[in-house]
Amino acid sequence: MHGQFSKILFCGLMLLPFIACKKNAQFSDKPFLEYKAYRFVNSQDTTTNRRSIEFTIYFTDGDGDLGSDDEPKDSCDTSINNFFIRYFEKVGTNFVEVQPRDSCLPFDSRIPDITPGGSNPVLEGDIITFFDYSGFPANTDVDSIRFEFKAIDRAGNESNVSVTPSIPAPGR
């Protein structure tokens, strides 16, 4: 892949520890996100030298319609994305948003359909997502970065915007 990407980790057995449905939980039908943690991850593959930040974001969705099974129409189709990431670098005293370098490789990604079975559609768990920071920060005088996360469910309900604290820029 190219210089930047974001992936959401939802697969097979990995999904089970992260999704915990509560029988009597009362959550809004509008998704809710809350930033929990980050950690820097360096690739073990020395040929790519990929460097990523792994984020953990807590989420709830009262009607269980978070995620989608839509497939991209082509390699540059971003219309199916339902998890949005905005990246900021601190320049002087202000955080300035940095756009992806390639419109075909946005920071956003797609949460797969995780609708629970049975009579209780409530979803609660953690989203684990990665941001490839190879080639970032974009500006050489950046000492801090931060991120914003938002999700949209199949009914079109937008979550709140969850914001990380200021993170020391990689390599600083």
Task: Outline where DSSP puts E strands in the chain.
Answer: 6-9, 32-42, 51-61, 83-91, 94-98, 123-132, 144-151, 162-163, 167-168
CB 109 within 8 A of CB 47: no
Q: Which residue has the higher pLDDT, 3 or 32?
A: 32
CB 135 within 8 A of CB 64: no
pLDDT band at 17 (very low <50, low <70, confident <90, very high): very low
Residues, the chain: 172
Mean pLDDT within 129-143: 81
pTM of the model: 0.81
Give the type of residue at 113: D
Integer Cα distance of 88 and 92 in angstroms: 12
